[in-house]
Structure 1
């Protein structure tokens, strides 16, 4: 990972020194090109590793670093009814109170981080002609899967966004800063994932794989209401040998287990490859005063419907009994209040796609936007998830609300809740009620985040802001 980072830094320095016209103007990182690199399989493979490295994000406190996945919970869980801050202070509290500002540094961090991932993918794709016949398809499949994943998150969070499908120069401002319709972004995502499905196999799970591409593409189709397409893809994944872990806790602390389809991997006690979000969610061991704390509403849902999952999903803060912490990602799986290693250098992998999610998406695809289903295939998938949670009574029908509730308690604190509410068409209703109950400021325009003001400034007015933000 370090070697790739050094290469990127050298390319940035070279580019800055060679472009006098734009030297003083902040240029998007997606404009950098490594003309003398990526000439063979070995170098292209490093380029692919560099994309994963971009998804990991930097384990640092510098606001200029890309933190990517490590700050995603702010934009997702903390904008749902699942989590909040401990102190209701600072930029973090803007997410829970639905008062996010266009100058919010966390939003800007995430936005630029994922466009950096897209840049890294574009570099690999642009140099595929230099790959051997034996490896070209795999490199293309991985790069396009990861690019599609980045665009899928961005379009769901920001709506219409710039579509950068190649390495561009700093002078191509129309490409960099022209917002393209969300429907066009989704067409691009589907194309990338369809390429990944035919280009990849299942030899590299939990990294990009055919099953991962199929599962992610199915979620895209569910988002768009293409239920039949989603069902076919999900049933293909279900034939791929995945299985639920018998112990729910093992999903998160037995890495590369049979339930994991795609995960962003971290290693403990290495500053370049560890993560700090695990520590951030604890009290007085992270770099904040505590974030992603469990809401009263999420705790009530887990107590009522979580079954055996509840004890592994949240815990009472041992130091402040009125607070409740997310328990799925305690640093390195250590469950006590004390940690043998530095919790700010945690090695817990971040799970993006797992088999329980596939089973519940399968129910959603069969329900096809309806209010309920009694289809045998849907009941079978739903029952598997319920059985693992300790609810073994036979299911005879499933309502839309029951499916949404099951997704909430099964996938709690895994950055799924906000997207689920939007996809099920109930986000405005649920979040409005949640906001009223807690004295927050939710408006319908809060379903999209603001385009970072820094990007609008760099664009010299080409980028337009989302409604509801100054």
Structure 2
């Protein structure tokens, strides 16, 4: 049975709410004054529990745009995807309140005489400081580093931005402290040594590859840190890839009421009894919330069941839904509706619903039974998975040029074993890099490991789709220009009647002009409202064809600093290209 832990804490004149404890306790704000607080292990625990609010919720993980980037099409576009960001006057992610709370704790935790407890909770605080700064580094690049609480008249409040090298070095110091001092006992909801290793693996892969592809230098040692953090998790034997029936095991990870902690290192918990619920079913299946659908380029990336490339099949570009979904990597049918799909809690077969998916490739990942459709989903949301650590390890080794078949066997192979897919062959991949993937990634640097690196990127996209990683992946690979490309859906040769699952019944009618007389069980889409790239001559569904998406290579890899902050602190310099409010 689930438990949601709640603390209501004050910090000077503020209160924080967290959902990570077994019981409810209330403390008057006055009791949190440093002279009479931070004295016991329980007080340190209570205070650091508030930091868990920093972790992403279900909305941020599976839905927030631009996190899904070029994996997903919708009927609305985030400003980052469309290229219409503007310099804000305030806000814009330039917030430091949470950092002040963390530093306030670290300046006062020494009052606790229980040294073991203090080190453990200091480790949690420093995990969250590294986590906080990772978000800032990704968003702004250089940022001021603060490791103490500043008074309102402190000169440090008007310091210039520190270089990302210094910020990242301090982040590593924090995360290494967390690794050394957080609890070793596994927990799906608490920060542990293993969560800290997973975060180190993630941030080092980002920073190492960002520096490599953006020409910033000193990337090799950071990728080696990623390798070593990942190896520490791998060799510990603490986690494994969840297995079972290859046709269901992958999907089970994301519909589990309680996170499957053999693989899930950290999850956001949900429980209807609190109530603490999310709306995955509603967001994915509602006609009024974006109508999200997988992009055609992702569908093309799934391998065939025998490990061969779908895009090597002659005529793959004009394959219709039934043909293109046959004999594919089983993760496809566990991520989107494919022929024969039966919704949890129902016996009838359901085809994709074009009223709720703009591409026709409709998600099933995270989707529970119809009883949860009104916004009451309670499946836990994975934040860190062992699968990601394995992918980080393989990619870092490939980027360093040191990857071997043994490395693949202890990483990518485990993910493919889950779904009974053939292993990745390093020599074969490098001897024949996939032309389709070469076309997907313009910035990849051709070398002896190009083929296997492309396959690792394929694996990462398929395994982690809709988990909120893709936008940052494009940033670090310097592939933001991919967002300018049209977002496509299913292919149709033109107007007509379509039996999507080949069961002998018409499921979809694409018509032109006056709507035909409706027949129950059929969906109707008017050509022009459903846009095909070649009009009456058919083609792929085009998402938002009238919107021109833009990506500025000189500025869009960073966010702008709000103009109000530049006025308050004249030592701050704006990121390149973001010179004026509204630009």
Question: Which TM class, normalised by the smaller chain length?
Answer: 0.7 to 0.9
2:576 alignment partner in structure 1: 467
8 Å Cα contact 1:160-1:181 kept in structure 2:
yes
Q: Structure 1 residue 217: deviation in Å? A: 1.5
Change (3 A) 1:3 1:212: closer
For residues 266 and 462 of structure 1, the distance between their equivalents in structure 2, rounded to whole angstroms, comes to: 44
2:238 alignment partner in structure 1: 241
Structure 1 residues 65-85: Cα deviation after superposition (integer angstroms, max 9, x where no partner): xx9x579833432xx311243
2:559 alignment partner in structure 1: 449
Residue 190 (str. 1) matches residue 172 (str. 2): yes
Change (3 A) 1:258 1:318: farther
For residues 454 and 424 of structure 2, the distance between their equivalents in structure 1, rounded to whole angstroms, comes to: 18
Stretches of structure 2 that go unaligned for 5 or more consecutive residues are: 16-31, 209-218, 244-248, 305-309, 311-327, 338-351, 430-451, 489-541
Q: Name the Cα RMSD after superposition.
A: 3.5
Structure 1 residues 24-67: Cα deviation after superposition (integer angstroms, max 9, x where no partner): xxxxxxxxx9535433222221111100034357x9xxxxxxx9
Q: Structure 1 residue 342: deviation in Å? A: 4.4
Change (3 A) 1:176 1:269: farther
Residue 427 (str. 1) matches residue 427 (str. 2): no
1:260 alignment partner in structure 2: 264
For residues 404 and 429 of structure 1, the distance between their equivalents in structure 2, rounded to whole angstroms, comes to: 17
Structure 1 residues 374-428: Cα deviation after superposition (integer angstroms, max 9, x where no partner): 43223442211122233125624351111111101111111212222333x3414
Q: Which of these residues, 83, 104, 114, is aligned with residue 72 of structure 2?
A: 83
Work out the number of aligned pairs and report it.
Answer: 418
2:453 alignment partner in structure 1: 400
8 Å Cα contact 1:11-1:34 kept in structure 2:
no
For residues 231 and 143 of structure 2, the distance between their equivalents in structure 1, rounded to whole angstroms, comes to: 32
2:111 alignment partner in structure 1: 130
For residues 208 and 292 of structure 1, the distance between their equivalents in structure 2, rounded to whole angstroms, comes to: 32
2:398 alignment partner in structure 1: 367
For residues 56 and 5 of structure 1, the distance between their equivalents in structure 2, rounded to whole angstroms, comes to: 19
Comparing 435-444 and 96-105, the one that deviates more: 435-444
1:143 alignment partner in structure 2: 125
Q: Structure 1 residue 160: deviation in Å? A: 1.3
Change (3 A) 1:4 1:321: closer
Residue 200 (str. 1) matches residue 182 (str. 2): yes
Return the TM-score normalized by structure 1. Answer: 0.77
Change (3 A) 1:103 1:235: same
Change (3 A) 1:435 1:258: same
Q: Which of these residues, 329, 334, 339, is aligned with residue 307 of structure 1?
A: 329
1:12 alignment partner in structure 2: 14
For residues 72 and 463 of structure 1, the distance between their equivalents in structure 2, rounded to whole angstroms, comes to: 33
Change (3 A) 1:56 1:392: closer
For residues 48 and 116 of structure 1, the distance between their equivalents in structure 2, rounded to whole angstroms, comes to: 15
Q: Which of these residues, 388, 407, 412, is aligned with residue 357 of structure 1?
A: 388
Q: Structure 1 residue 318: deviation in Å? A: 6.3
Q: Structure 1 residue 183: deviation in Å? A: 1.1
Stretches of structure 1 that go unaligned for 5 or more consecutive residues are: 14-32, 60-66
Residue 388 (str. 1) matches residue 418 (str. 2): yes
Q: Structure 1 residue 262: deviation in Å? A: 2.5
Structure number with bigger Rg: 2
SS in 1 for 2:116: coil
Q: Structure 1 residue 279: deviation in Å? A: 4.1
Residue 218 (str. 1) matches residue 201 (str. 2): yes
SS in 2 for 1:262: strand
8 Å Cα contact 1:243-1:355 kept in structure 2:
yes
Residue 228 (str. 1) matches residue 194 (str. 2): no
1:329 alignment partner in structure 2: 366
Comparing 206-215 and 431-440, the one that deviates more: 431-440
8 Å Cα contact 1:261-1:354 kept in structure 2:
yes
Change (3 A) 1:347 1:7: farther
Change (3 A) 1:297 1:280: same
SS in 1 for 2:134: helix
Q: Structure 1 residue 194: deviation in Å? A: 0.7
Structure 1 residues 227-260: Cα deviation after superposition (integer angstroms, max 9, x where no partner): 3332222122012331111200122233142111
Q: Structure 1 residue 347: deviation in Å? A: 3.5
